[in-house]
Amino acid sequence: MSEIRFPLPDVGEGLTEAEIVQWRVSPGDHVVLDQVFVEIETAKSLVELPSAYEGTVTELLVDEGRTVDVGTPILVIQTDAASGMSSDGSAPTTAAEPAPQAAAPAPGSDGEGGGAVLVGHGSSGPARSRRQRHPAPGGAHEHLAPPPPPPAPPAPAAPMAAAPSEAPAVAAEAKRQPERTDDGVPVIAKPPIRKLAKDLGVDLSRVTPTGPIGDITRDDVIREASQASVFRNIQTPELPTDRETRIPVKGVRKAIAQTMVQSAYSAPHVSVFVDVDATRTMEFVKRLKASPDFAGVKVSPLLIMAKAMIWAARRNPTVNAQWTDEEIIVKHYVNLGVAAATPRGLIVPNVKEAQSMSMVELATALEQLTLTAREGKTQPAEMQGGTITITNIGVFGMDTGTPILNTGEVAIVALGTIRQKPWVVDGEVRPRYVTTIGGSFDHRVVDGDVASRFLADVAAIIEEPALLLD
């Protein structure tokens, strides 16, 4: 037997402290290799820590809600000869049969390859990757459902009742009936759309379909979720009985404050704005949604905006740069940051090597980035190394704003809401989809003419997406 005092590790981004958010184990619990035993909050995100040892938890050294420095012992584990690691972190030298718990995937793992792995430690070995398939009710695999049970012996039927031989068919037909709206219209939606609706808490029977065959699309579900959120937000809560609420400044909120102050007061910001006719972008988005190549992929004006920024940065390289006191570092790759509002605060994960992605790949990456941020699973590495950022304030109905630069970058662009407005076309006033694009730049690196040319190039793509084909 040996006793291990497990220290709070650096999760790989040079962080110096973290808050203990939630313990997943208690004294007396047995833990196995790679089992998630605690959830911590760094200055970047929530992180689940896997155990590097197997044994019994004897003591939790830090209370939930307390912030401690990296290297501080946080719990004590008592190991034995059959554990996966010895007290010095190496494999045990005595030959022993593996513990029974090690045969199953570790809790918190994804079942695909041994679960989460702490930096510097291996996993507990390959885990099963196959999983049973369960047909979703009302989905595409209903025909795989088991046959209905044999009919019960017929009872004396009342006049006009269905014949006994028809009872099984009627029961099976009733079982196959799809869910319907209040008007009796069948709900048509693919399994991925149904899963998205379940994740967002959307009742599909209340969604207005816009698909070509009357089916519910991804955008229909997201729009319904957004509307539901708006309606929930307009409910005015009662004032609390306490006269004040004090919120500790820590974790992500503390990091946001430090970053914003550093950026606002170290980089001289300059902002420019331009109104754009986005009608062709809206038409282009509509065509992409109907394309088989984009089936199951979210397509929105943000995708065209992202492509426009990558294209414009190639034409104006100094907007994709970094300022140091000794030199200006121009990046010839684009790690495109996307500002995301989450329940825990503002974070800016980025799409790595976005300049090398096709339209479909970029759309998929943006969607995954958004979903991961919304679920609070963005990892610190996903927020490092950004070169230029986009913030989509249009989703909140805002026309434009003056965004603050992400620290270490020299340009950020805000996409405003796209709505129909009167617009002069060939001397006539017509209704067009119009948006306002705003950009903030570090004036130490980006001069006014470069900022203007860059934003004009972005606007040119939004006005005519066909330029991307050049």
CATH of the domain at 80: 2.40.50.100
Query: Which of 48, 74, 103 is a domain's end point?
Result: 103
Query: Does residue 204 sit in the same domain as residue 280?
Result: no
Q: How many CB atoms lie within 10 A of CB 170?
A: 12
Query: Does residue 371 sit in the same domain as residue 451?
Result: yes
Task: Round to the nearest angstrom and report the end-to-end CA distance of the chain.
Answer: 68
Give the integer Cα–Cα distance in Å for 307 and 466: 12
Confidence at 238, pLDDT banded by 50, 70, 90:
confident
Both tokens assigned to 446 = 């980006």
In the chain, % helix, strand, coil (3-state, to 5) comes to 30, 20, 45
Both tokens assigned to 143 = 């025909």
DSSP 186: B
Q: Which residues are catalytic?
A: 443
Which amino acid, residue 379?
Answer: Q
Query: Does residue 340 sit in the same domain as residue 391?
Result: yes
Q: Are 136 and 194 in contact (CB under 8 A)?
A: yes
Half-sphere exposure at residue 439, Cβ-oriented, CA atoms within 13 angstroms: 32
Q: Is residue 26 part of a domain?
A: yes
Q: Is residue 137 part of a domain?
A: no
Instruction: Point out which residues pair with 277 in neighbouring strands.
Output: 434
The torsion of the CA quartet 123, 124, 126, 131, rounded to 10 degrees, works out to -100
Average pLDDT, the chain: 77
DSSP per residue, 328-359: EEE-SS--EEE-EEETTEEE--EETTGGG--H
Domain count, the chain: 3
Q: Is residue 67 part of a domain?
A: yes
Could you tell me which residues come within 8 angstroms of residue 256 by beta carbon, excluding any fewer than 6 positions away? 345, 346
Confidence at 439, pLDDT banded by 50, 70, 90:
very high
Q: Are 124 and 114 in contact (CB under 8 A)?
A: yes
Q: How many CB atoms lie within 10 A of CB 124?
A: 26
Say what angle helices 359-374 and 301-315 make with each other, to 10 degrees.
120
Instruction: Point out which residues pair with 425 in neighbouring strands.
Output: 428
Query: Does residue 225 sit in the same domain as residue 325?
Result: no
Please state the separation of Cα 298 from the chain's center in Å: 13
Range name among 188-202, 288-302, 380-394, 398-412 with the lowest pLDDT average: 188-202
Both tokens assigned to 346 = 């503002």
Q: Rounded to the nearest 5 degrees, what angle is found at the Cα of 307, between the Cα atoms of 430 and 191?
A: 90
Is pLDDT at 201 greater than 70 in this prediction?
yes
Q: Are 204 and 194 in contact (CB under 8 A)?
A: yes
Query: Does residue 302 sit in the same domain as residue 210?
Result: no
Give the three-state DSSP class for 374: helix
Give the integer Cα–Cα distance in Å for 139 and 200: 18
Query: Which of 53, 79, 103 is a domain's end point?
Result: 103
Give the integer Cα–Cα distance in Å for 363 and 218: 13
> For residues 64 and 151, which has the higher predicted lDDT (pLDDT)?
64
Please state the separation of Cα 432 from the chain's center in Å: 32
Q: Is residue 204 part of a domain?
A: yes
Query: Does residue 310 sit in the same domain as residue 387?
Result: yes
Give the integer Cα–Cα distance in Å for 219 and 233: 21
Is pLDDT at 368 greater than 80 in this prediction?
yes
Both tokens assigned to 384 = 């490092």
Which amino acid, residue 18?
Answer: A
Is pLDDT at 379 greater than 90 in this prediction?
no
Query: Does residue 326 sit in the same domain as residue 408?
Result: yes
pLDDT digits (tens, 9 = 90+) for 303-345: 999 999 999 999 999 999 999 989 999 999 999 999 988 777 7
Both tokens assigned to 199 = 């994740």
Pairing of strands 411-415, 388-391: parallel
Query: Does residue 379 sit in the same domain as residue 310?
Result: yes
- Of 103, 131, 93, nearest to 2 (Cα)? 93
**Parent domain of 201:** 183-230
Query: Does residue 213 sit in the same domain as residue 281?
Result: no
Half-sphere exposure at residue 269, Cβ-oriented, CA atoms within 13 angstroms: 21
pLDDT digits (tens, 9 = 90+) for 67-126: 888 888 888 888 865 444 444 444 443 333 444 443 444 444 444 444 433 433 344 444
Query: Does residue 263 sit in the same domain as residue 195?
Result: no
Q: Is residue 32 part of a domain?
A: yes
Q: Is residue 240 part of a domain?
A: no
Mean pLDDT of the region 372-387 = 85
Give the integer Cα–Cα distance in Å for 140 and 137: 8
Q: Which helix (H) or strand (E) holds 441?
A: strand 428-442
Range name among 62-76, 225-239, 377-391 with the lowest pLDDT average: 225-239
Q: Are 281 and 465 in contact (CB under 8 A)?
A: yes
Query: Does residue 370 sit in the same domain as residue 455?
Result: yes
pLDDT for 390: 96
CATH code of residue 349: 3.30.559.10
CATH code of residue 223: 4.10.320.10
Q: Is residue 235 part of a domain?
A: no
Mean pLDDT of the region 156-165 = 45
> For residues 23 and 171, which has the higher predicted lDDT (pLDDT)?
23
Q: Is residue 454 part of a domain?
A: yes
Q: Are 408 and 386 in contact (CB under 8 A)?
A: yes
pTM of the entire structure?
Answer: 0.56
Query: Does residue 434 sit in the same domain as residue 292?
Result: yes
Task: Give the CA radius of gyration of the chain.
Answer: 28
Give the integer Cα–Cα distance in Å for 85 and 75: 16
Query: Which of 65, 81, 103 is a domain's end point?
Result: 103
